[in-house]
Amino acid sequence: MLKLGEVLADMSEKGQVKLILQGGRGGKGNSHFATSTRQAPRFSQSGEKGTEIEVILELKLIADVGLIGFPNVGKSTILSIVTSATPKIADYHFTTLEPNLGVVKSEYGDSFVVADIPGIIEGAAEGVGLGLKFLRHIERTRLLLHVIDVSGQEGRNPVEDFYKVNEELKKYSEKLSKRKQIIVANKIDVMQNDEEYKKLEKVAKKEGLEIYKISAATNMGLKELFSRVSKVLKELPREETVIDEKIVYKLKEDKEEFSVKIENGVYIVYGPAIEKLMARVNVLDNESLAYFQKNLENLGVNARLKKMGINEGDTVKLEDWEFEWYE
């Protein structure tokens, strides 16, 4: 029994194929039943019914590095400088509406993918703003670059910003809150004083995190930062998502099973073999009906009915159809 929200498959690798839903076996065309004496049969077998479920397809960006932080701290600017991505950049307090991806070229070492993840504000883990929509996109990243505005121009408190964003990560996923993180102190070119930066530096030391001073606007410190990022990524393994393979649907074995019971004098024949047979024959067609009778004999249905004492004129019910037994 599947549970709501249970993951059926994780399609994170190229060429992956997962069977998550049982399909019915195909039918057979009339040519399959042709014989030397019946060269143009007028009946065929319908395919079996498949099963149906409702599934949610959830897209998660596949990136090595995620840029996180409050809106307007310079994430998009960083992405536009170190990659060829062209996110919309402006001096406003509204967050980017869509995550942006870019590939850092080999100038900084091996190439890797960086994602600008917007929308992480207070309450994001509870669905405030577009937070939940974007938080899922950093679940795949191996390294988080926490961009913080240390300029003082916006009246922000870098230390408070650091803890607020990390609190949202923790609320959303305990595992995500423990992801490798580097603090990126941005806008040092317009920093009014270094008092707030020094406080943030103490927090980084306390939390055991690296911290880099940069200015995305002037390209200051970016080369050193991403050279370090490249080295760190080489030490971080890619996370593998483990899916319980038992929940993946597989085609049932072709078992010819049936049962017979008597209710009010009617012999009711039921079971997987009968369901399959009735789905594949047209009992209104004489040729198909003859094929149907032959299958009942081969399955052992007739022998079972005789053993149970059926008499001529008794009623036999298969699915929604009733037939009269005759010798």
Strands 100-104 and 65-68, bridge-based pairing: unpaired
**pLDDT score, position 183:** 96
Q: What percent of the chain has pLDDT over 70?
A: 69
Three-state DSSP state, 202 = helix
pLDDT tens, 204-247?
A: 999 999 999 999 989 999 999 999 999 998 888 776 655 555 44
| Range in 8-22, 173-187, 196-210 the model is least confident about | 8-22
Determine the pLDDT at residue 12: 64
- According to the model, what pLDDT value does residue 48 have? 66
CA angle, 91 then 111 then 182, to 5°: 55
Least confidently predicted of 56-65, 132-141, 206-215, 295-304: 132-141
- State the pairing for strand pair 143-149/321-324: unpaired
* Res 277: pLDDT: 81
What letter would DSSP give residue 252? P
How far apart CA 150 and CA 194 sit, in angstroms, is 8
pLDDT of 288 above 50: yes
The per-type count for the chain, helices as H runs and strands as E runs, is 9, 10
Q: What is the CA 85 to chain-centroid distance, rounded? A: 26
Helix (H, G, I), strand (E, B) or coil at 79: helix
Q: Which pLDDT does position 92 carry in this prediction?
A: 45
Can you give the pLDDT at residue 38? 67
pLDDT tens across 176-187, in order? 788 899 999 999
What band does 112 get if pLDDT is binned at 50, 70 and 90?
confident
Residue 16: Cβ within 10 Å count: 9
According to the model, what pLDDT value does residue 269 have?
92
Structural domains in the chain, sorted by start: 30-51+249-324 (3.30.300.350), 65-235 (3.40.50.300)
pLDDT beyond 60 at 2: no
C-alpha span between 144 and 168 (Å, rounded): 14
Q: Which two tokens stand for residue 318?
A: 């298969």
CA atoms within 13 A on the CB side of 107: 12
- Rounded to whole angstroms, the Cα distance separating 163 from 158 reads 9
What's residue 129's pLDDT? 41
Q: Token digits for 69?
A: 């932080």
**What 3-state DSSP class applies to 13?**
coil
Question: Rounded to whole angstroms, how far apart are CA atoms 212 and 145?
Answer: 10
Q: In the structure encoding, which two tokens stand for residue 183, read together?
A: 């603090």
Whether 149 and 161 have beta carbons less than 8 Å apart is answered as: yes
Q: How many CB atoms lie within 10 A of CB 286?
A: 11
CA distance 235 to 232: 5
Please check the confidence at residue 31 and state whether its pLDDT lies above 80: no
Residues 6+ apart with CB under 8 A from 42: 30, 285, 287, 288
Closest CA to 114 of 274, 284, 230: 230
Please determine, for residue 90, whether its predicted confidence score (pLDDT) is greater than 60: no
> How do the residues of the chain divide into helix, strand and coil, expressed in percent and rounded to 5?
35, 15, 50
